Structure 1
Amino acid sequence: MFTYIAKGDPDMARRRIKVLDTTLRDGEQTPGVALTPEQKLEIARALDDLGVDILEAGAAISSEGERKAIKMISRAGLNAEICSFVRAAKEDIDAALACDVDSVHMVVPTSDIHLKYKLKKTKKEVKEMALNAARYALDHGLIVEFSSEDASRTEPSFLLDILSAAVEEGVQRVCICDTVGVLTYEKSRELFSNLTAKLKVPVSAHCHNDFGMATANTVAAVMGGASEVHVTINGLGERGGNAALEEVVLALSQFYDISTGIKLKLLYSVSNLVEKITGMPVSPTKPIVGENAFTHGAGIHTHGVLAEPSTYEPIPPELVGQHRRLVFGKLSGSHAIESELKKMGLKPTKKQIEEIFNQVKQLGDRGKIVTDTELRAIVDSVLGRGFKETLKLEELTVVSGNRVTPTSSVRIKFGDKEFVESGVGIGPVDAAMNAIRKVVEGTANVRLVEYHVDAISGGTDAMVSVVVKLTDGKRMVTARGTSGDIIMASVQAMLNGVNRLLWDKQLRVKE
């Protein structure tokens, strides 16, 4: 494991930082994300297994559905402290109390711009309102984390004054919010150094990513003395999002040997779960949990990784539950192809490797990343393995439109038999995919992992290329389909992938 202990911080290795996860509150504020109580509970269980210390389950005042979700989470027997977001208002606190939470994250605007345009109150009025609310929550047995909203743009003297008053009132924690992400690493470290030296309770950092600085600023806050971080899975949140849990905990662990209690091996699986439930795709280039985080394509990189993984990987992918992947195209090297053939259990001659290498390069020069299916088709051809198309589309019908549930029927030749199946979905492509899955159910229980569309010519009559990633639970393949019709391209890609899975399964049995 690569670790770097910052000079001048000899005690860093002995520190333990708490993690407050706000995926279910700030993360759900991501435009386009709306979770049911059952979905929130599923994510909460995963976060608890991951090891978060405090789980901000939502804002109880928001709606009846939100209160139902928070109650379900509070009563689920989780290890994490369950928290509700509240404003400095009695009705918010009462709503939180009705949900049986352990704590409240009380957020109070403190910057001049917020006081003038949002609250329309003076500093004195805001301070009085905030302290009254804090006392009410404390008197009712709640842990209070008192949060200064827009703290990074708040007059420093007022920030210290209101936080100190909250501490005197008895709040157990205070939080500094960089609400619009305007801190820099240096300013963040200085701000937290000054405040933690003067406040007698734990100070937490809540950073937003408007300038792409959320992870760096959160780490800087810890370097300045913060003992708790607010984060979300995959960096979900409004606008540019929040500090990403996976980035912050790994940076603290690997660079400063600071413990967070997070089970690093679960990071990738929890990221995938949140991606699936929220419907917010994770960028392939997202650090740590993106599909390309441990993917290598260039020949010089794959050669190095095959010889010694640490040449182009700062950590082993297994540390975060990820996997290493080699992709093939015009930049591929022969070492990567030879390694992939060995994984397939093949022992080609040098001449055969060279021929496969040349054909991959030719495809790459035509602007293509070579999918698993295309690589295996080349391999089958060069090695004379005679790929057999098990599934063949005979007929496809799709019905879709306003107020009509998208429905598809397919007639497919499967071996020497014909099958007719139908499927419904959220769109015509989904319906067609579901119909095909029904045909192969039992023989190959296929799950669609990834779906990607590219227009490869202009205009409304553009040709499209659809790439899918499929798994049967034992292995994963990528496959492509190309057509002027997006539904047909999708069906072709699906059939190509399923055929490859079935053919590889037959080869494994024979070998």
Structure 2
Amino acid sequence: MNIKVLDTTLRDGEQTPGVSLNPSEKLRIALKLDEIGVDFIEAGSAITSEGERDCIKTITNENLNAEILSFSRPLNKDIDYCIECGVDAVNLVVPTSDLHIFQKLNTTKEELIEMSNSAVEYCKDHGLVVELSAEDASRTDVDFLRTVFNNAIDCGADRVCVCDTVGIFTPDASFNMFNSLRDLKVPVSCHCHNDFGLAVANTLAAIKGGSSEFHSTVNGIGERAGNTSFEETVVSINSLLPDFDTSIDIHELYSISKLVARLTGVYIQPNKAIVGENAFAHESGIHSDGIIKNASTYEPITPELVGRKRKFVIGKHMGTHGLNSRLKELGLNVNSNQLQQICDNIKFLADNGKTVTDVDLQAIADNVLNINYEDRIKLEEVTIVSGNKVLPTASIKLTIDGNDVLEAGVGIGPVDAAINAVKKSISEFADIELVEYHVDAITGGTDAFIDVIVKLQKGDQIISARGTEPDIINASVKAYIAGVNRLIS
């Protein structure tokens, strides 16, 4: 059975404290959601503001394959704004619990049903698809919930949704609720929140109970503890529920996750399932050995399934199998004695509280193997011009194979300009890509020493390099040049 997906990253997800997306950012996310196969996209809440309506119109003007919705209360003025935005459908949200009816709306159940019916009819009269969402349905009497839904269906509602607004469902309760509603004449969807960390589990239980659609947000962002995680639910359906599937391009999950994290500024915890940086990282020697022999020993899914790559982390728990695999990735071949020496040195550093980076590993391996790289490129001078109304510009002097090279570059900042100047200087003989850039202040104060670590790639070879200076520009340039020297040596 194919399960439909309604993504509400642009509405419920944007309600995450501190998140505010502009029209171009919302459009980028919507285009990616449409590209990967999301069925319904809730583009926002048209009643919110003129700026929000502009965002929604930007999306509806793209004529995407996905159905585009706006959130709406059961009020004609809300629906009129949805119509103005040109959406295909409305997510018509009607509170159904006694708490919301009596204390929030200060009305009666009869008046609530009348309000709901009137809103559905108004939407249908204006050619809109209607998904009626029962707010706080998990704290609503099931018989009354059925009454609300059946009235809405009789008035033309195309879908209905059970909302666990405060995340109090358990998987058993979720299954029972949806199982009791599976005889309704329209599709039933579920909208779960993660207040108790059960949103994904409750969503999967709802699907097994009869729900044919789920609401979610990318990375599980949203108010309080967030919403059902889009990527976790899609992968769980794919891997754990053999009788169900979705139309989502599962290989693009990491890509959409990184896009949303970057545009919203909401940090993804390293140990987050599926998309966290540690989701397919292994340090333990036992695990690394098993993974190398057969990945399924310690991975329930392959990282490639969701657009990821496996990595072996350097640390005191690492065994020789994982270490040897990492050394080979760095282009280093060692014998068993050398491998053990490198492993012992890593454990010594880790036991003394040091995080062992690729730079440290390279240095340790070089020492054990007695490798000395001859620097073909040397930094002689770097000069920066930057200011509020000045495009950051860098001029750089290098010695390459004994010859002086002068070059200039511009960038969005002084570091970017300096790196661009170096790239231009070496472009004739080295096609090298900067794939990662990381900065740490390793002392306090405004004169702190800056530790810059870069990761560079040339073809299939990737290495890390470090530069440590009081000046971030010099540290960045030195780290970059050190990495280039290693790659071309």
Q: TM-score range by the shorter chain?
A: 0.7 to 0.9
Superposition deviation, residue 329 in structure 1: 1.5
- 2:138·2:163 contact (CA, 8 Å) conserved in 1? yes
CA distance in 2, matches of 1:369, 1:424: 32
1:208 maps to which residue? 193
Name which of structure 1's ranges 235-244 and 331-340 shifts more when overlaid on structure 2: 331-340
| 2:35 aligned with 1:55 | no
1:21 maps to which residue? 7
1:128 maps to which residue? 114
Distance 1:491 1:65, change over 3 A: farther
Paired residue secondary structure (1:274)? helix
Q: Deviations over 1:338-379 (max 9, x none)?
A: 222333443323332222222222222222232122212222
Match of 2:416 among 434, 447, 457: 434
2:399 maps to which residue? 415
Q: Deviations over 1:109-168 (max 9, x none)?
A: 222222344322222222222211111001111110000111112233322221221111
RMSD: 3.0
Look up the equivalent residue of 1:436 and give its one-letter code: A
Paired residue secondary structure (1:285)? coil
2:17 maps to which residue? 31
Paired residue secondary structure (1:196)? coil
Distance 1:114 1:418, change over 3 A: farther
Paired residue secondary structure (1:98)? helix
| 2:160 aligned with 1:174 | yes
With normalisation by structure 1, the TM-score equals: 0.84
Match of 1:108 among 86, 94, 97: 94
CA distance in 2, matches of 1:242, 1:372: 36
Distance 1:393 1:109, change over 3 A: farther
Distance 1:383 1:157, change over 3 A: same
Instruction: Give the 5 Å matches for 1:18-417.
Output: 18-197=4-183, 199-257=184-242, 258-388=244-374, 390=377, 392=379, 414-415=398-399, 417=404
Paired residue secondary structure (2:185)? coil
Superposition deviation, residue 96 in structure 1: 1.3
- 1:406·1:424 contact (CA, 8 Å) conserved in 2? no
Between the aligned residues of both structures, percent identity stands at 44
CA distance in 1, matches of 2:458, 2:94: 49
CA distance in 2, matches of 1:449, 1:121: 57
CA distance in 1, matches of 2:219, 2:205: 20
- 1:86·1:107 contact (CA, 8 Å) conserved in 2? yes
Paired residue secondary structure (1:66)? helix
- 1:20·1:55 contact (CA, 8 Å) conserved in 2? yes
CA distance in 1, matches of 2:450, 2:241: 45
CA distance in 2, matches of 1:212, 1:462: 43
Look up the equivalent residue of 2:415 and give its one-letter code: M
- 1:52·1:262 contact (CA, 8 Å) conserved in 2? yes
| 2:481 aligned with 1:499 | yes
- 1:189·1:220 contact (CA, 8 Å) conserved in 2? yes
Q: Deviations over 1:179-222 (max 9, x none)?
A: 1111111111111111223x211110101111111100110110
Name which of structure 1's ranges 329-338 and 311-320 shifts more when overlaid on structure 2: 329-338
Superposition deviation, residue 315 in structure 1: 0.9
Paired residue secondary structure (1:177)? strand
CA distance in 2, matches of 1:297, 1:248: 27
Distance 1:276 1:307, change over 3 A: same
1:6 maps to which residue? none
Look up the equivalent residue of 1:259 and give its one-letter code: D
Distance 1:261 1:452, change over 3 A: farther
Superposition deviation, residue 32 in structure 1: 1.9
- 1:87·1:108 contact (CA, 8 Å) conserved in 2? yes
Q: Deviations over 1:209-250 (max 9, x none)?
A: 111111001101101100000011111111111111110011
- 1:432·1:491 contact (CA, 8 Å) conserved in 2? no
Look up the equivalent residue of 1:505 and give its one-letter code: L
Look up the equivalent residue of 2:200 and give its one-letter code: T
| Structure 1 segments unaligned to the other structure (5+ residues) | 1-14, 426-430
CA distance in 2, matches of 1:113, 1:469: 55
Look up the equivalent residue of 2:203 and give its one-letter code: T
* Number of corresponding residues: 478
Distance 1:78 1:445, change over 3 A: farther
CA distance in 1, matches of 2:330, 2:211: 50
Superposition deviation, residue 108 in structure 1: 1.3
Distance 1:278 1:118, change over 3 A: same
Superposition deviation, residue 293 in structure 1: 0.7
Look up the equivalent residue of 2:421 and give its one-letter code: V
- 1:446·1:498 contact (CA, 8 Å) conserved in 2? no
Distance 1:25 1:308, change over 3 A: same
Paired residue secondary structure (1:415)? strand
| Structure 2 segments unaligned to the other structure (5+ residues) | none
Distance 1:366 1:303, change over 3 A: same
CA distance in 2, matches of 1:122, 1:146: 19
Look up the equivalent residue of 2:213 and give its one-letter code: E
Look up the equivalent residue of 1:322 and give its one-letter code: R
Distance 1:93 1:72, change over 3 A: same
CA distance in 1, matches of 2:263, 2:364: 37
With normalisation by structure 2, the TM-score equals: 0.88
CA distance in 2, matches of 1:297, 1:394: 41
CA distance in 2, matches of 1:391, 1:188: 65
CA distance in 2, matches of 1:348, 1:98: 68
Look up the equivalent residue of 1:414 and give its one-letter code: L
Paired residue secondary structure (1:146)? strand
Q: Deviations over 1:451-487 (max 9, x none)?
A: 465x878x8799788575645585655555667x6x6
Distance 1:408 1:158, change over 3 A: same
CA distance in 1, matches of 2:468, 2:102: 57
Q: Deviations over 1:376-419 (max 9, x none)?
A: 2222333333235546586788999xxx6899887766335586
